[in-house]
A and B are shown apart, each in its own frame.
Chain A
Amino acid sequence: MKVCDIIEKLNLKVIGGEEGLQNEVNGGYTSDLLSDVMGNVDEGQVWITLQTHRNVMAVASLKEVAAVIIVKGLEADENTISQSNDEGIPLLSSDMEAFELSGELYQLLKG
């Protein structure tokens, strides 16, 4: 499944990094602790978080995640968006909470 398919199925908003919308998604990881994500997220996974500052994109880029989804309709910082565009890693937004969104994404990827 590709990032653009997930956007459509989960009704996500694209905030940045459109270049990467064709990235292949092979799983997901939900966490707000950056070191936890650094240590445990795998390449090609979607990272679900409530963090909105630009270090999110630094971690996303170093770990080569497929996309980042910010939950609860929180607004990303301006420099987070610009770094997402620079890196070409999609920065997405959902109105759902992390629990709900993780569940939906899990079902989608499992199915």
Chain B
Amino acid sequence: MEFSYDVEGGNFAKAGNAASSVKKVLKQLNVDPKVIKRIVVALYEGEVNVVAHAYKGKVLVDIDTDRIYIKIEDEGPGIPDIDLAMQVGYSTASAMVREMGFGAGMGLPNMKRNADKINISSKVGEGTIVELTTNLSS
């Protein structure tokens, strides 16, 4: 099964729409609720990253019987130093984003912790691709 969702940069009102929709699908497929929670946390953080940092992005979700693959691709400023971005507490979020309770430097680490496999590639000035893969059978 494949799904795709558009994510608008700057539009916090819609952040979480993809995560919410994927959650419903996984529930219908009777995936272990603990596994669903992990997937949903990782995807939500990914959506928020696009909203907070990029101009626009796309979430592609591919589900088969034993794994879910999620690709979050954006057009945005890119990440100059991925290792630094992965550090808990490091953030380049704006003051407005921080005031909302985002931008605490926990997004990417949360994504890593809640996916079985994470792959990040980024080009400064072009955008970022985050790929998450998680086994559905616990």
Q: Which residue of A lies closest to B17 (CB)?
A: A58
Q: Is the CB of A61 within 8 A of B113?
A: no
Main secondary structure of the interface of B (DSSP, over half): helix
Main secondary structure of the interface of A (DSSP, over half): helix
Contacts of B41 in A (CB 8 A): 38-39, 62-63
Q: Is the CB of A35 within 8 A of B40?
A: no
In which size bucket is the chain A interface?
10 to 19
Q: Is the CB of A32 within 8 A of B44?
A: no
- Please judge, given known A-B contacts A34-B101, A61-B20, whether A39 and B106 are in contact too, CB under 8 Å: yes
Q: Is the CB of B16 within 8 A of A55?
A: yes
Is A105 located at the chain interface by the 8 A CB criterion? Answer: no
Is B110 located at the chain interface by the 8 A CB criterion? Answer: yes
Q: Is the CB of A39 within 8 A of B113?
A: yes
CA distance A32 to B101 in the complex (A): 6
Is A53 located at the chain interface by the 8 A CB criterion? Answer: yes
Contacts of A58 in B (CB 8 A): 15-16, 19-20, 44
Closest Cβ–Cβ distance, residue A111 to chain B (whole Å): 29
Q: Is the CB of A38 within 8 A of B16?
A: no
